[in-house]
């Protein structure tokens, strides 16, 4: 079968298409024929090891000091059809259409993959795909959707909450805008000018072009600020919060990580950081919302598996709106 091999740390040139042996599921696994996967900024950062230093060193120690060894194929989310199952599998059968996060194992850039029926420490959840959703729509739900849902739950976003989402036009941000609106929040979306019309279309109450306006300098206060891209300076973000406000950071620096506890003590505000645990019930919930049309997957471009380098280059450019799909 075809697979994209991750051969080194660096530019998209380290991604090579190769023929490898088709995997065989173990007792607790399902074999999935992948139809669609995604390219996220997380895939690109992992490929190049452009991670914060406090994450980069342990990650390289885990994956391989000089080149990838433990993880040979990237890709964090997918949709496809179950081809076969291990003898202990109960939730799925051959022919089922599914969507899944691969968790810390990655591996979605290939024609087939074995996934555990139930998520472990390194694995993401697997759920049935509704027939009404395309494979492309389903493939981009797991990671961006689950991250957005996790942070909004942690912040207690509800009717009347005034929330600003910085980096609203990306994989996590587009789901965060829609989920916040669904909760009854008043949403201000911040991104570049070419993404503002889309952000209006998915429900943003207010939009800010960060290339022309610094939201923190306006004097406006928010109940919640969700910094998806992790680029809002800590003090600037706190200044734009009301008392008891919550600053959510999806991609924190070491300074923000170590500042978490004293901020709540000294400022009356709360800093919420870190990735959430991926639960199958949350993935089922998100999929149901998409199926009912209450939220939707925003897909920018679709590439073939053979165009994986182009897809990575486009995502790294920062120009993507919503999600980029690899159709396999």
156-183, pLDDT tens digit by residue?
Answer: 999 999 999 999 999 999 999 999 999 9
What angle (nearest 5°) sits at the alpha carbon of residue 29, between those of residues 24 and 34?
70
Say if residues 256 and 271 touch (Cβ distance below 8 Å).
Answer: yes
Say if residues 295 and 173 touch (Cβ distance below 8 Å).
Answer: no
Q: Looking at residue 55, what is its pLDDT?
A: 82
Say if residues 64 and 49 touch (Cβ distance below 8 Å).
Answer: no
Single out the residue of 155, 153, 164, 154 nearest to residue 221, CA to CA. Answer: 164
CATH class label, 2-140+297-327: alpha beta
Q: Looking at residue 234, what is its pLDDT?
A: 81
Structure tokens at 325: 């799909």
Q: How far apart are CA 119 and CA 131, in angstroms?
A: 23
From the candidate CATH numbers 3.40.50.1000, 3.40.50.10580, 3.40.50.720, 3.40.50.300, the one assigned to the domain spanning 143-273: 3.40.50.720
Q: How far apart are CA 227 and CA 200, in angstroms?
A: 19
DSSP state of 118: S
Nearest 10 degrees: Cα torsion 6, 47, 319, 148 = 110
Say if residues 80 and 327 touch (Cβ distance below 8 Å).
Answer: no
Contacts of 260 (CB under 8 A, 6+ apart): 271, 273
Q: How far apart are CA 192 and CA 211, in angstroms?
A: 6
Beta strands of the chain (E only): which ranges? 2-6, 15-19, 29-39, 77-85, 97-101, 112-116, 126-128, 162-166, 186-191, 206-209, 222-227, 241-249, 270-273, 299-304, 323-327
Q: Looking at residue 259, what is its pLDDT?
A: 65
pLDDT tens string 193-208? 999 999 999 999 999 9
Q: How far apart are CA 255 and CA 215, in angstroms?
A: 22
Structure tokens at 19: 């023929």
Q: Looking at residue 254, what is its pLDDT?
A: 58
Structure tokens at 158: 């509800």
On the 0-12 / 13-18 / 19+ scale of CB atoms within 10 A, 214 is exposed
What's the pLDDT band for 258 if we cut at 50, 70, 90?
Answer: low
Say if residues 22 and 77 touch (Cβ distance below 8 Å).
Answer: no
- Evaluate if residue 21 carries a pLDDT over 90: yes
Contacts of 211 (CB under 8 A, 6+ apart): 192, 193
**Per-domain residue ranges for the chain?**
2-140+297-327, 143-273
Q: How far apart are CA 80 and CA 93, in angstroms?
A: 13
Structure tokens at 3: 């697979």
Beta bridge partners of 188: 164, 206
pLDDT, averaged across the chain: 93
Q: How far apart are CA 321 and CA 267, in angstroms?
A: 35
CA 283 to chain CA centroid, Å, is 12
Structure tokens at 13: 């040139």
pLDDT tens string 108-154? 999 999 999 998 878 999 999 999 999 999 999 999 999 999 999 99
Say if residues 68 and 46 touch (Cβ distance below 8 Å).
Answer: no
Q: 38: helix, coil or strand?
A: strand
Q: Looking at residue 212, what is its pLDDT?
A: 93
DSSP state of 110: B
């Amino acid at each position: 079968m075809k697979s994209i091999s991750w051969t080194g740390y660096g530019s998209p040139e380290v991604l090579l298409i190769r023929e490898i042996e088709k995997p065989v599921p173990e007792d607790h696994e399902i074999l999935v024929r992948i139809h669609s996967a995604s390219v996220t900024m997380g895939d690109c950062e992992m490929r190049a090891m452009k991670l914060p230093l406090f994450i980069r060193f342990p990650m390289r120690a885990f994956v391989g000091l000089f080149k990838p060894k433990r993880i040979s194929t990237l890709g964090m989310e997918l949709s496809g059809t179950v081809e076969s199952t291990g003898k202990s599998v109960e939730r799925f059968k051959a022919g089922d259409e599914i969507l899944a996060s691969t968790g810390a194992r990655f591996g979605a850039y290939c024609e087939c993959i074995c996934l555990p029926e139930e998520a472990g420490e390194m694995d993401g959840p697997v759920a049935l795909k509704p027939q009404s959703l395309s494979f492309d729509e389903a493939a981009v739900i797991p990671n961006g959707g689950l991250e957005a849902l996790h942070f909004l739950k942690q912040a207690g976003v509800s009717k009347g909450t005034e929330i600003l989402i910085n980096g609203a036009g990306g994989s996590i941000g587009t789901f965060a805008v829609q989920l916040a609106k669904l909760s009854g929040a008043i949403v201000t979306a911040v991104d570049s000018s070419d993404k503002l019309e889309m952000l209006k279309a998915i429900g943003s109450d207010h939009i800010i072009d960060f290339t022309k306006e610094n939201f923190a300098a306006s004097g406006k206060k928010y109940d919640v600020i969700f910094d998806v891209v992790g680029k809002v300076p800590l003090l600037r973000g706190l200044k734009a919060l009301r008392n008891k406000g919550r600053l959510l950071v999806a991609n924190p620096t070491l300074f923000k990580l170590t500042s978490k506890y004293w901020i709540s003590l000294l400022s009356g505000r709360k800093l919420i950081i870190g990735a959430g645990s991926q639960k199958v019930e949350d993935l089922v919930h998100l999929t149901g919302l998409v199926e009912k049309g209450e939220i939707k997957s925003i897909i920018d471009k679709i590439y073939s598996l053979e165009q994986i380098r182009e897809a990575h280059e486009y995502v790294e450019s920062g120009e993507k709106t919503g999600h980029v799909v690899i159709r396999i």
